[in-house]
Amino acid sequence: MALTPTEEAEVRDLLAQNAALLSLAASEPTIISKLGATKVNLSGLPAAASLSPTDILLVRQGVDDKSVALSVLNTTIAGNAATKTEVQASSYNYAVATGLANAITATFAPIPTLVDGMTFFVKTTNPNTDNVTFSPNGITPAPIRKAGSVNLAPGDITGEGHIIELTWDASNVQYFMRNPSNAIILNLLQFPEINTSDNRATISVSSLAGSGGTVQMAGNEFILIGKEIVASIAGINCTVKIPAFSKNLLANSTYYLRGYYDNTTDSLVVYVQQGTDTDVTPINLKGTVDATSGGGFDTTVLDVLFAKIVTGANGTTPTLTNLANKSKFQYQAVDGTSTTITRNTGTSGFYIQKRVSPIALNFGRLPKNYLQYALASRSGPACEVQSVTYNGTVTDSAGSLTASTNRYLMDPVHGIDTNGSGNQNLTWMLSTFIWD
């Protein structure tokens, strides 16, 4: 016989006061019977195929009793919440760029609704060559800018997998790029500089039977050199390790050991190219690997000249001229008063003179600026410096002298205007200054 409502309420009240009364009242089946209830195990229920917003879900501890399928729980309860894996993978704000180099598009899921401060990460494939716009999921394109509201310069997006970070700036209707490369036009890049005490790489030559010899580089030294971002327009300076290198050379030839930064491998390519000291710098500022001519041009911002190698007959050791490379050259030398010459013209006039010996430079390039200044004195009437010739032949009444200034040496000719007659015994003081 079932309990009356009053009796049932009393039983429930007693049970709430002391759970121990269970053992005194009756066994579990008897109580369930008296209450007119039915015992149900969650494991005995079929898995729910769907849930409505009004459903109430009881979750029992344990792993065996399940009444709702996991996929249903994920869909109904998790909703649009991101998983740990999705957060780690930046699944919602990372995409690969499509569109053009200067008009970037990308597709994100879900489709974003722009909110001030929203950030996107976009993997690019091409460098920009001008101002750039960005459009996620077909949203009206807006400019990408840096440093507040500054338009991007060519090469600020390097491509090659450069992942750009763009934050939506609603007040200025723009995407702020947090990580531009800050590329600059090529002629403003620093010249290469080798990180050794004398700014020269470790290079050696040796003889080899049947050939003009071998040139080797030890490697493991570092160099600052330009990396081209936008061809013939913009680049950045970067530091890279000089790799070990070895090359067999032809006999009776002139080689130039060079190197440039390779964007594909992100490493320095070391190579040799034949040529002459009078070779003109290529328009693209870089040489050609193993070419038989054209390799003798000076170091450029994109291509370093390490050394000149001249080979002789087969089996002989080549002649090596190891060249210094520095972003800014500075040099000063003073000869003193040891250079004395005598002219026997017997008249006043123009006279020329050179240093006792040339100044050895052996640089990878001729510095941008240089000056040699001469002071000359004599007993009797005054004299003054009239000219300095750095390249070419100069003649006075006593003969001719040839001036030469290049990356290997500085040997200018000085001209002096003197007054008076008789032997012109002149004492010279020569000062040399080189700077970039």
pLDDT recorded at residue 60 = 46
Dihedral, CA of residue 414, residue 419, residue 421 and residue 425, to nearest 10 = -40
Residue ranges per structural domain of the chain? 5-61, 94-182, 187-322, 330-435
pLDDT recorded at residue 413 = 87
CA 108, chain centre distance (Å): 29
pLDDT recorded at residue 378 = 58
Q: Which residues contact 23 (CB under 8 A, 6 or more apart)?
A: none
**Cα separation, 420 vs 257, whole angstroms:** 54
**DSSP character at residue 138:** T
CATH 3.30.379 fits 187-322, yes or no: no
pLDDT recorded at residue 287 = 98
pLDDT mean for each 10 residues of the chain (436 residues): 72 65 59 68 61 53 49 61 79 93 95 95 95 97 94 93 96 96 93 96 97 95 96 95 98 98 95 98 97 98 98 98 94 57 56 80 91 66 71 88 94 77 58 78
Nearest to 183 by CA among 143, 223, 152: 152
75 phi and psi angles, rounded to 5 deg: -75, -45
pTM of the model: 0.76
pLDDT recorded at residue 84 = 80
pLDDT recorded at residue 102 = 97
Look at residue 71 and give its three-state secondary structure. helix
